Amino acid sequence: MNLKMTNRSLHIISFDNPYPPKYGGVIDVFYKIKALHSIGVSIHLHCFVDEIPADFSVLKKITEEVYFYKRKKKFWSYIQSKPFSVHSRFSKEMIHRLYQDDFPILFEGLQTTAILSHFESKSRKLFLRLHNNEEKYYEGVSKSEKNNLKKGIYWLESIKYKHYQKSVFNQFETIFTLSETENNEVNLISNNSTYVPVFHGNETVAQLNEFGHFALYHGDLRISDNQRAVEFLINIFKELPEHKLVIASKSGESSVLKQIKNAPNISFVPADDQKTLDKLFEESHLHVLYSFQQSGTKLKVINSLFNGRFCLISSNMVDDKNVLELCSIANEKATYKEKIHYLMKQPYSLDDKRSIVLNSVLNTIENAKQLEKYIFTL
């Protein structure tokens, strides 16, 4: 192990393998690592995984070192006082490695903080990237879940996080939140938070012609909130037979096909690769996104604004005012239906405001420099 001290070396502990960046949380982790590397920060990456990957050459190119640790998903992890998602991510091997130097540590999500007690008496700079208000997140998942056993497990996880997050927030020099809402919530508890927008990987805003051909929903249909959102949208488009809806996902095809059996204007497309998703973004006229829970700014909204035309969302999907102003908002079914009908007929043109907001507020390099300032300067 190379212990040569530099003034900008950083340990990052990730809750999952960030490559390939295939869902919201790891997208933020991967493109954050990439942006920090591009401005000269040396990254020592530690990842908790279910299975250790055979090939991680992409990560090797943007880090000094990469280590993987298998999660410990034992039954007794469910009955501990710490949340299961925290308790299952503990590694003595990682602690030993972290003791070999005094580089700052950035914990990606509360899930990675099981080792915190081993650094309480150390003069170590500790930082947290808060990916969610986990208490509210699991409460929302519990409400959306139909399986009673899973509903109970998620509810218990929410209760555990309610106590856990309050007990650890003050152990960090700075907490970097993904949303203004969570920033305010953390500052009420520990007054050590700052808002740093999501790292997303988009570099330019797409230049598209005036009209696409359909409305598009894209999301991970293993997640119960997304399943509810799709049911909501299917019910709306069944009442709008003149407008086409495409539902794109890597999962959930059989469930969707059952729901749209008698709706010829609604179709499902397996989104197995980025090329398929890119084509759908280019050809769609309207992105229809909806959520039943508050969770900061959803990455799917950011991707839709960079790569699509119109974007219709529920107001709880974005809490950055600058980004929210780029979207059409509807929370009730009747209003949502009216706005679909209106927007599907409107010609699209990229305005200056959209480009300015996306290229400034959501500039990954500038946001990486903000992290660098807090970790190495302040």
pLDDT of residue 1: 40
On whether residue 207 sits in a domain, the answer given is no
Structure tokens at 202: 């988009």
Q: Can you give the pTM of this predicted structure?
A: 0.90
On whether residue 208 sits in a domain, the answer given is no
From CA 49, how far away is CA 89, in angstroms rounded? 9
Range of the domain at 351: 215-359
pLDDT of residue 2: 42
Residues 177 and 313 placed together within one structural domain of the fold: no
Residues 72 and 161 placed together within one structural domain of the fold: yes
Structure tokens at 100: 């070999």
Residues 98 and 180 placed together within one structural domain of the fold: yes
Residues 118 and 20 placed together within one structural domain of the fold: yes
Residues 181 and 261 placed together within one structural domain of the fold: no
From CA 312, how far away is CA 351, in angstroms rounded? 17
CB < 8 Å & 24+ apart, contacts of 249-252: 249/218, 249/219, 249/220, 249/221, 250/220, 251/220, 251/221, 251/222, 252/221, 252/222, 252/227
CA distances from 105 to 59, 60, 134, 173 (A): 18, 19, 21, 10
On whether residue 209 sits in a domain, the answer given is no
Residues 233 and 338 placed together within one structural domain of the fold: yes
Q: Cis peptide leading into 20, omega within 30 of 0?
A: yes
The number of domains in the chain is 2
Per-residue pLDDT of the chain (378 residues; tens, 9 = 90+): 444 444 799 999 999 999 999 888 899 999 999 999 999 999 999 999 999 999 999 999 999 999 999 998 877 666 788 999 999 999 999 999 999 999 999 999 999 999 999 997 668 999 999 998 999 889 988 988 889 999 999 999 999 999 999 999 999 999 999 999 899 999 999 999 999 999 999 989 999 999 999 999 999 998 889 999 999 999 999 999 999 999 999 999 999 999 999 999 999 999 888 899 999 999 999 999 999 987 677 899 999 999 999 999 999 999 899 999 999 999 999 999 999 999 999 999 998 999 999 999 999 999 999 999 999 987
Residues 167 and 258 placed together within one structural domain of the fold: no
pLDDT of residue 76: 67
pLDDT of residue 77: 64
On whether residue 279 sits in a domain, the answer given is yes
CB atoms within 10 A of CB 222: 12
Is the Cβ–Cβ distance between 306 and 206 less than 8 Å?
Answer: yes
On whether residue 348 sits in a domain, the answer given is yes
Residues 70 and 103 placed together within one structural domain of the fold: yes
**CATH number of the domain to which 269 belongs:** 3.40.50.2000
Residues 184 and 232 placed together within one structural domain of the fold: no
On whether residue 26 sits in a domain, the answer given is yes
On whether residue 271 sits in a domain, the answer given is yes
Residues 369 and 321 placed together within one structural domain of the fold: no
pLDDT of residue 4: 42
On whether residue 147 sits in a domain, the answer given is yes
User: Among residues 313, 342, 296, which one has the least CA distance to residue 232?
Assistant: 313
Residues 27 and 163 placed together within one structural domain of the fold: yes
Residues 135 and 279 placed together within one structural domain of the fold: no
